[in-house]
Chain A
Amino acid sequence: MAYFLQQLINGLTLGAIYGLIAIGYTMVYGIIGMINFAHGEIYMIGAFISVISFLALSAAGVTYVPLALLVVLIVTMTFTAAYGWTIERIAYRPLRHSFRLAPLISAIGMSIFLQNLVQLLQGARVKPLQPIVSGGFVLLDSGDFEVQISYLQIFIILLTVALMAGFTTMINRTSLGRAQRACEQDGTMAALLGVNVDRTISLTFVMGAALAAVAGMMVTLYYGVIDFYIGFLAGVKAFTAAVLGGIGSLPGAMLGGILIGLIEAFWSGYFSVEYKDVSVFGILVLVLIFRPTGLLGRPEVEKV
């Protein structure tokens, strides 16, 4: 029981991170019907920007942890969002009216380019970072096993919940969110009503990138090491989360992310750590075969 609880906590933490990345996949898919294969790289870039900003802050003598976290969060979101915006402008927008596969190919190219760019700029070796947030609680002590939750895990889970709540409110209640949903459902009609569709798509990329940036920062804090290659695996897993939840569905991406995190944690905890990635890809295959619309997705055929 204690062990189970520990895996649950670890799984939720991982799931929060996947969920934040998955939102970017699902929103971009929703609005332009394309899988942004470079999204994993956006997250990787977020991780690098956060490492660099942490190092810069400590060099500047900022030692107060909450301040450092806040500054890094803002800097990382801003710069990563700029990457997201730029990618859409140069790699996808010119191909918007091209054949269906064109932007997909461009996305894969962009993904390779970004990996190589970071490798060139930052080197191929892993980047370590001292623990910034340490300590935690013992939740339960069953004699031979202690269930712990670290302050960092609490930070990750709470920040994710806050971001997801804020984001959901934005999509459902604000006029920007409404415009985004309108563009998803009928871009031409949205334009007739006065929505600048290009700008709305840009903003969607910016938001997805900002959330992935937070995930990148969290992973940096959580694992303490990153390299230019982390975007690939995390990207595929978050994509799996988005598909599991139902691609195009915002609550689906969140739910899918949490489930993938839990599956990975429990698989590692009870079966084998080596095959934890296999478990996730196994899920992807099963979902694609048996329920391609995902848990909360809607069938493609529903059209008026």
Chain B
Amino acid sequence: MTMLSIEGVHTFYGNIEALKGVDVSVETGEIVTLIGANGAGKSTLLMTICGRPRASKGRIVFEGRDITGTETFEIVRLGISQSPEGRRIFPRMTVLDNLQMGAISTDPSYFTEDLKRVFTLFPILERRQEQRGGTLSGGEQQMLAIGRALMSRPRLLLLDEPSLGLAPLVVKQIFEVIREINEQQKVTVFLVEQNAYHALKLAHRGYVMQTGQIALQGTGRELLGNREVRAAYLEGGH
């Protein structure tokens, strides 16, 4: 069943057209990755799903419901949660406060259970509970960003470059957790990545974006084997 379908979406920043008619679909239960060069429009697409900025043309449908014009703060209540580009941890709030912010759209009675689940995924966060977000290391911030996104009990998790700037070991750990979230907690994942090798290995399907348009699509394996993809995103080590 199609969970998210993005149909012919155009997005502008002023008069710069960042998305020029994008079509993407994500099936329930999948991990779908979106790769592409810097400035291709990947983050813009994730943010457009959440209505910031809003698509100026096209349609975004989530679980059969047109959400193109839905207010940003309503999106999370429908079951979509985003860990955006740059992590956007609240720097002057503690780890616990950040996680509580993640839960602000849900019934408070879930909180303890959800918190425990996040601490099981990322034990380091439990030890850092009282530390201010801004003083966490990059890797810890990334874990907090994903943890915070999970606190809203999403059915669709949007992740923007979760591996950016992390040591290889931590990258492996993060991708492992994404798989776990998908397999055990049945959360569908739409993953934007620069780390194309890891992302395509993890994902069921992938899209390649070039200057605001989808240039290629296929299963993770197909794209890993594709000559253009190898040349542009994979050669020179992973």
Contact = CB atoms under 8 A, between A and B. Distances in A.
Given A178-B97, A182-B93, A185-B90, A192 B104 contact: no
A182 B50 CA distance: 18
Contacts of A197: 73
A193 B89 contact: no
A105 interface: no
A194 B77 contact: yes
Chain A CB within 10 A, most for which of B50, B81, B88, B152: B88
A175 interface: yes
Contacts of A181: 90, 92-93, 97
A188 B52 CA distance: 8
Interface in A285-302: 298, 302
Interface string B62-105: 00000000011111110001101000111111000100111011
A195 B92 contact: no
B12 to A, nearest CB: 15
B134 A304 contact: yes
A194 B152 contact: yes
B46 to A, nearest CB: 10
Contact of A178 (B71, B72, B104, B133): B104
Interface string B108-141: 0000000000000000000000000110000000
B90 A186 contact: yes
Interface string B19-57: 000000000000000000000000000000010100000
A178 to B, nearest CB: 6
B115 to A, nearest CB: 15
Interface residues of A, number: 21
Interface residues of B, number: 28
A175 B104 CA distance: 7
Contacts of B105: 193-194
B101 A182 contact: yes
Contacts of A189: 84, 88, 90
A10 B68 CA distance: 59
B148 interface: yes
A179 interface: yes
A179 B102 CA distance: 10
A304 B104 CA distance: 23
A191 interface: yes
Contact of B76 (A186, A193, A303, A304): A193
A122 interface: no
A191 B72 contact: yes
Contacts of B77: 194
A29 to B, nearest CB: 15
A149 interface: no
Chain B CB within 10 A, most for which of A189, A191, A194: A194
A190 B88 CA distance: 10
A193 B148 contact: yes
Interface string A190-209: 11111111000000000000
Given A178-B104, A197-B73, A303-B91, 6 more contacts: A175-B100, A179-B104, A181-B90, A193-B152, A194-B152, A302-B91
10 contacts: A181-B93, A185-B91, A192-B50, A192-B52, A192-B76, A192-B88, A194-B76, A195-B104, A303-B91, A304-B89
Interface of B: 50, 52, 71-77, 81-82, 84, 88-93, 97, 100-102, 104-105, 133-134, 148, 152
Interface of A: 175, 178-179, 181-182, 185-186, 188-197, 298, 302-304
